[in-house]
A and B are shown apart, each in its own frame.
Chain A
Amino acid sequence: MKSFLKLAALSMLVHVASAQTLSHKIDLPKDSPVALLSADFSNSSATARGGAYVVDVYASLSLRNTTQRRIRGITLAVYAQDVAPGKGSVSVPSLDVAPGATFSVRIENHLVRPLSSGASNPGVEVKLDGILFDDLTFYGPDTLESQRLMTKWEMEARRDRDYFKSLLKTAGTEGLRQEMLAGLSRQSDRKGPGVQMVRGRATNQDAEREVQFAFISMPDSPLEASEGTARVSVSEARAPRFSVRNRSNRAVEHLEIGWIVKDQQGREFYAASMPADLKLAPKQSGDVRQEASLRFQQPIAIQSVTGFVASVEYVGGEQWIPSRSTLATQRLRNLVPASPEEQRLLQIYSKKGLDALIEELKKF
């Protein structure tokens, strides 16, 4: 028994001895609208386990708004090229940081790489990718298309706050309470299966069939999508393509389609988004296709796929997003995730109550 305990203790010591401090670098441009007040990486670690590096990044950055404008959102890019491929980012939308005020951003990443790939001194680099201000102007290199995403989140935030404020006016506190309760209920019911996205075709060799997918009618959308098809096999849908017509009087340069998948038991879930850069002059039509595969982690017999126009960007950067009334149709309301702002307001209601929510709405 003694020798067993000694061996166990030795094994633990080896584990502790192999842990390294994680080197990190935070790169903010000289004219950055935010200043770094502090960066706490103390809980981060890089550990050689067997034949692999396991790097856990737990960081908290404290930043100050050094401009005279209010900050609505920030995106930081996280690179760990010596450790893991790809790149990550952390975005905080729905902010309201006054000039001179401070705010914090948390980063939690988990990286694994075989030692054989040559990594010896693991490190993480954090760079500012973009900041969105309350006048919708943007600062940053935008390598991750942060401007488009943060502008969309901010427009959704304004739409949803306006909706809740108007509901408070017309239906009173009880109407707002009922809407919050319904939102919380939808949020807890909206759990879909795990999904993977693979470039090209995944390893699935099952026989596949071509499935036509329908689009939900959205009369206020500047785009009309039609003639959608995808190759579908068990638990996998790939190579989607569809036609789209710009029915507005403005030129369009980007669009995003939401995908709803229905299985053979009749269950529906929001499966993925499909962005596409496509320049369309007013009244012009075009085709969109993607050579990627959507694969479910659980076996799911896909019966049908339905698409809807989730957002449109006009030339110049202005965006269209669906109105609350369009999203209020039964199908979309239950399937499409709430905006980040609605989730923030739901959490305030859930944690602090209706009065705190009303106070929060009055701030904007």
Chain B
Amino acid sequence: MSTRHPFDTELALYAGGDLRGWDWVKTAAHVRGCEACRVSVAAFHLDQQRLLDSADDMPAGLNWDRLASEMAANVRVGLAAGECIGPVAGRESQKAIWNWKPAGAFAGLAMVFAAAWWLNMPTSDTAALSRAFGFVQEDRGPVVEASSAGIEFRENGSVLGVSTSAAQPVVTSVSFGGSASARYVDDDTGQVTIATVYVQ
């Protein structure tokens, strides 16, 4: 058995089957004869297994619509930014025409716009506007929707919704008759208000 304990990084690579050649032989020989390192390797194995298991679970309360619209928006921003600042093969001949100043000014403007948007616009508006401009794949017909955030009726990019930042609905529901309802209870008086949106 080698007298020096392998580093944690070597043990982690060994546990994952990623150690190669002489390093693998050396570490394997040490682990066979060292109880402490065997425990470390087993712990790394367990961590890997937990990681694999947890990768199959989706986070609780994941909002797929919002995630989809945010991903679409991020991809667009990424592509736009890549167009602005990324080196592109075949543009070498244009270097003489383009210099960094206009690109920098454009990027600055984009940042100001993004910052103003981020500061001013609620997430629900961003989602609604994404639908209005067709960034998000929309259903063909009218849709009523109820979630813990509130209720909405959507058609052709237009939205009629009820959601308050002050309170979450205690109950939301949809009806096959073409409506969605949300119940709110006033904290102080207990008065119940039921908001409903209808397909026309």
Question: Could you tell me which A residues sit within 8 Å of B by CB distance?
Answer: 3-4, 7-8, 11-12, 15, 49-52, 54, 80, 83-95, 105-106, 108-114, 117, 144, 187, 190-191, 193-200, 202-203, 240, 270, 272-275, 290, 292, 294, 297-299, 337-338, 340-341, 343-345, 347-348, 351
Residues of chain B from 143 to 200 with CB closer than 8 A to chain A in the complex: 143-149, 153, 155-164, 170-171, 173-178, 180, 183, 185-188, 190-200
B63 at interface, CB cutoff 8 A: yes
A194 to B171, CA, bound (A): 11
Q: Smallest distance from the beta carbon of A301 to chain B beta carbons, Å? A: 13
Q: A112 to B153, Cβ gap below 8 A?
A: no
Contact pick for A347, options B108, B147, B186, B199, CB 8 Å: B186
Chain A residues near B132: list those with CB within 8 A: 51-52, 112-114
Chain B residues near A85: list those with CB within 8 A: 142, 153, 155-156, 158, 160, 200
Contact pick for A144, options B119, B187, B196, CB 8 Å: B196
Q: Smallest distance from the beta carbon of A184 to chain B beta carbons, Å? A: 11
Quick one: given A54-B125, A85-B155, A343-B192, are A199 and B141 in contact (CB under 8 Å)? yes
State the interface size on chain B (CB cutoff 8 A).
69
Chain B residues near A87: list those with CB within 8 A: 160, 197-198, 200
A52 to B120, CA, bound (A): 15
A187 to B192, CA, bound (A): 15
A295 to B170, CA, bound (A): 21
Q: B196 to A86, Cβ gap below 8 A?
A: no
Q: Smallest distance from the beta carbon of A323 to chain B beta carbons, Å? A: 21
Chain B residues near A203: list those with CB within 8 A: 137, 139-140
Give the 8 A-B residue pairs with the shortest CB-CB distance, closest first: A194-B147, A11-B116, A347-B190, A112-B128, A84-B160, A86-B153, A112-B159, A274-B176
Chain B residues near A84: list those with CB within 8 A: 153, 158-160
Nearest-CB residue, chain A, relative to B116:
A11
B62 at interface, CB cutoff 8 A: yes
A338 to B125, CA, bound (A): 31
* Contacts beyond the supplied A49-B125, A110-B162: 13 A-B pairs with Cβ under 8 Å: A8-B116, A49-B129, A83-B158, A85-B156, A85-B200, A87-B160, A89-B195, A90-B196, A111-B161, A112-B125, A198-B143, A272-B173, A292-B176
Quick one: given A11-B113, A93-B192, A298-B62, are A114 and B158 in contact (CB under 8 Å)? yes
A348 to B186, CA, bound (A): 10
Question: Could you tell me which B residues sit within 8 Å of A by CB distance?
Answer: 58, 62-65, 108-109, 111-113, 115-116, 119-121, 124-125, 128-129, 132-133, 137, 139-149, 153, 155-164, 170-171, 173-178, 180, 183, 185-188, 190-200
Q: B191 to A344, Cβ gap below 8 A?
A: yes
Q: B198 to A88, Cβ gap below 8 A?
A: yes
Q: A294 to B176, Cβ gap below 8 A?
A: yes
A sample of 20 cross-chain residue pairs with beta-carbon separation below 8 angstroms, ordered by A number, consists of A7-B108, A49-B121, A84-B159, A84-B160, A85-B158, A85-B200, A86-B155, A89-B196, A108-B162, A109-B162, A112-B125, A114-B132, A194-B149, A197-B175, A199-B142, A203-B140, A299-B58, A299-B64, A344-B190, A347-B185
Q: A80 to B160, Cβ gap below 8 A?
A: yes
Nearest-CB residue, chain A, relative to B147:
A194
Q: Smallest distance from the beta carbon of B145 to chain A beta carbons, Å? A: 4
Chain B residues near A298: list those with CB within 8 A: 58, 62, 64
A190 to B113, CA, bound (A): 41
A292 to B195, CA, bound (A): 22
Q: Smallest distance from the beta carbon of B122 to chain A beta carbons, Å? A: 9
